[in-house]
Structure 1
Amino acid sequence: MAIPHTPQTITVADLDVTDPVPDGYVLLDVREDEEWEAGHAPGALHIPLGDLPDRIDELPDEDLLVVCRTGGRSGRAAAWLNQNGYDAYNVDGGMTSWHQAGLPVTSEDGSVPEIL
């Protein structure tokens, strides 16, 4: 059995509040549809973790900041992506920390966003 690659981790505190996703990076949200609809970062790419292997061709040729609710699923996704040739970084604390830090969050229906 192969030992899984541990992805590099960044914290929300490492991100710039005025421009949290730097040039050359894409924020990949791997949460489920209902989580995404309730609240997500504007401009993020949404591919649920379970769909990632089948939708890998949708990923851009840029470094990936991978986020979920708290960092568990995104850690697994980032490790898998790294094993498949991508430069992926787990956002520690996920969307929960993102929202608590005051970084932008929107919802699909325009209601007040919340992190599920």
Structure 2
Amino acid sequence: MNVPTVPIDAVPDPLPEGLAVLDVREDHEWAAGHIDGALHIPLMDLPARLDEVAALDAVQTLVVCKVGGRSAQATAYLAHQGYEAVNLAGGMLDWHAAGRPMVAETGATAYVG
């Protein structure tokens, strides 16, 4: 199965209405820095928490991790479940490198952990 994937330069800035962001990284990665407004569900928890993705009521979901591997797995799973999902190539590393805004749980300076 080909996983729908988009590079950072094809992601609108600011993010458009109807586009949800799902971050599938681990808790410590999320705490270090993430996209404001994203839903955080670690990859291994995704099947059990699929109802939270449904609750987003999004037209499309942008799935992110650190570099794009875990988010590709999550995107394939979501597509198989009938969701309109797309993987962010390069993940949060490319997001940060492009100067896109991030927030940290601690209020400290956000970084890609």
Hey, what does 1:11 align to over in structure 2? 7
Hey, what does 1:26 align to over in structure 2? 20
Gaps of at least 5 residues in structure 1 are none
Tell me the distance in 1 between the aligned counterparts of 2:81 and 2:12: 28
Alignment equivalent of 1:69, drawn from 66, 82, 99: 66
Tell me the distance in 1 between the aligned counterparts of 2:28 and 2:99: 21
Deviation per residue, 1:21-48 (Å, 9 max, x gap): 2111101000000000000011111111
Deviation per residue, 1:39-79 (Å, 9 max, x gap): 00111111110000000001122111000000000000000
RMSD of Structure 2 on Structure 1 (CA): 0.8
Tell me the distance in 2 between the aligned counterparts of 1:86 and 1:50: 18
Give % identity. 48
Hey, what does 2:99 align to over in structure 1? 102
Gaps of at least 5 residues in structure 2 are none
Instruction: Give the CA deviation at 1:114.
Output: 1.1
4+ residue runs over 6 A deviation: none
